[in-house]
Chains A and B, each alone.
Chain A
């Protein structure tokens, strides 16, 4: 089979997606010794990063801007290609897969919203199943099911994205990402543009969906609190390297590296300040 990328390659069939026949009992995603430079090698956005993610995990990549977290995530669905190292999905190097096919198997929730403004909510949600060649009735049923799942009224199906609020749009974005029943969902600052209340509600709602559908989620965020509240595992990145990697609880209760400790201490300190203020207000 020819996996060389074809610039105008539209001749991809659904049968091509059956590349993986047996499931090896390894991690779902592996990054091994991956490096990426955007300036021809003078500086590295990612520097020799290795990471393995087991199926079913909700993992958060946190770090400041330029830490390499988004770059690491985009290597997985080949929106970016590594300069060195290898990325494997279920044991298969992603490099060997046709990029559009690979991406149809991976849900993606975009920074901002990324819904196509000229397509209805139903068309947006149903886009990946449609690209995969699902029959029309099946797509329609799936869209209705997903609208229920993300708690959007069914009559929103025919609306255009601009007729929805930011939170509603991102619910549709989540529905689009999971429409073709991917085993892996990538999220790039998914709730960053939302107000705090919507953001919290949507995060919680997505975590429930994650558990219910038994998917694997990799979420990029700069919000440590969000990561702590939603993820099973947090990877702290800085300067293109992994600075810390562990369960939220473990990272919260102390970590050797001072920048990680400072970062992880922030949610707790904020919580302490808020409870102090609450107590003062109650007694005052």
Chain B
């Protein structure tokens, strides 16, 4: 008998789960956020290990990281990376803003669209 470890690890504990925040979905989102915070911390600790190992092997020192100055090509690449990263995370804001204008331009509701094309 084999066990799918990934799915099995995330099983719920038997018994009703209480929700505390006014909106259950808000709380579910919070849970996703905290899990993300956890994984970011794990990544950070791994990076810290990398730095320390590289430093002990005299590849470079951590001071080199602190005093690192990107050349103009690296600077541009890193800045553009930040912009794309932010755009991905705040995608929902972009789309919510577009929705304002779309509504002002008279976009009908989904229900109205259905009625319209079915008549």
- Decide whether A and B are members of one complex: no
